[in-house]
Chains A and B, each alone.
Chain A
Amino acid sequence: MGMPARKNPATLQVMRYDARRGTLKVIVGDPANVPREILAQRAAEAMRAHSFICHTTDDDDDALFGADEICFIPRSDHCEIISIHTNGWRHHHGDHRRSLVEILNDLAAAVARGTLSFVDDGELAEVTADGDEIFACAVDDPASLTQARAAVVQVLDRLDVEPDARRRLELCVSEATTNMLVHGGGQGTMRLLLVGDRLRAIVADRGPGLNFLNWTEEAGGVNQPSMGYGYKIILDNLERVYLHTGDEGTTLVLDRTI
């Protein structure tokens, strides 16, 4: 008899409402029990109002469909719908850790300002097809983080990138590769590409995906108290971030003009 399946203490769902077609597409998470027609209606309303609408547990429960928070984020021709279900578990242990709902707010705000895009398989393939590769390496243990950072600095030095941009790119790539080691199965790859005047870093793993379950555990004996901090740094310092996540792994694409 196998081990009983563990219930995720928290899950992320991302859906996209296409205003022209009137359709709803699942980008991240399990769409079970989601009242799609009502969600599509709410998304259309948010688009008509040109308003970022967020329902939290302080609101009427009927607006949440069981989620702890649900955000409707209108864009030019579609509306992103991001929600988090925490099943009653809302905070990390330790007062200083940021709550999952706060992390969702950071993600939603980044989508609203156009920094973050959740992408599906096809969109990821399009994004990652662009550019000329200038560096690639495997990142399979914490010691290789230094090498990954050194490679980024070397490439940016060669391209004569100004120090502030260089430092921020080095930090963001380090955060992305650290996330991969801690939450993404402990290994993956990092590639650097030139796409026009932008440097693009692609950090990919074959881990369990961004399901929040692995964000709440001690990783490999490393008591990592920085949940959500890494994403905050990435989203605050880059112009564009694409995030693809699912059962077969997570890919982060990080862009900054250099």
Chain B
Amino acid sequence: MLHTRVETGEIPVIYLEGEIDLDSVETFRWVVSDAMRGAAEAVIDFSGVTFIDSSGTGLLVRFCLDYKAQGVQLKLSNIPPVVDDVFSMLKVRALVGDEAFLDR
């Protein structure tokens, strides 16, 4: 189960809490797409994420690259170890660029 909350403003912050897997990947897609509408920059806060798999990571990589190509910055913050571990396995930093991570 994935719970989401969006703090609106000039730079929206998307808070994620729970598990990002095949079951919740559509929720993840919807909340990010909606929050990014019209924004030049946004932040995803992963501090509440307790599980992520390749479905969630694949979608995140896709978001980062697609928005980057459109000149929109999607930043990733508060990555917990359980998420960072999967990002390391799939070389996410190399794929999306180190600059996408706020806690470098």
Contacts and interface: CB of A to CB of B under 8 A. Distances in A.
A226 B21 contact: no
Given A167-B82, A171-B53, A233-B89, A225 B22 contact: no
Which of the listed residues B22, B26, B59, B86 has the most CB atoms from chain A within 10 Å of its own CB?
A: B22
Given A95-B65, A233-B90, A226 B23 contact: no
A236 B54 CA distance: 13
B39 interface: no
Nearest to A237: B89
A194 B12 CA distance: 48
A145 B23 contact: yes
Given A95-B65, A226-B54, A167 B85 contact: yes
Contacts of A149: 51
Given A146-B1, A237-B89, A96 B61 contact: yes
Interface stretch (A59-67, A107-115, A173-181): A173-181
Contact of A224 (B58, B61, B65, B85): B58
A93 to B, nearest CB: 11
Nearest to B52: A171
B76 interface: no
Given A96-B61, A171-B53, A229-B57, A222 B22 contact: yes
B67 to A, nearest CB: 12
Contacts of A94: 62, 65
Interface residues of B, number: 24
Contacts of B40: none
Contacts of A237: 89
A169 B23 CA distance: 19
Interface in B4-34: 19, 21-23, 25-26, 29
A232 interface: yes
Contacts of B82: 167
Nearest to A164: B85
A96 B62 contact: yes
Contacts of A145: 21-23
Contacts of B85: 167
Contact of B54 (A96, A167, A222, A230): A230
A142 B22 contact: yes
Nearest to A234: B54
Interface string A143-176: 1011001000000000000000001001100110
Contacts of B95: 96
Contacts of A222: 22, 25-26
Contact of A143 (B23, B53, B62, B86): B23
Q: Across the A-B interface, give the 4 residue pairs with the lowest CB-CB distance, nearest first.
A: A226-B58, A229-B54, A142-B23, A225-B58
Interface of B: 1, 19, 21-23, 25-26, 29, 51, 53-55, 57-59, 61-62, 65, 82, 85-86, 89-90, 95
Given A142-B21, A142-B23, A237-B89, 7 more contacts: A94-B62, A145-B23, A146-B23, A175-B54, A178-B55, A222-B25, A226-B57
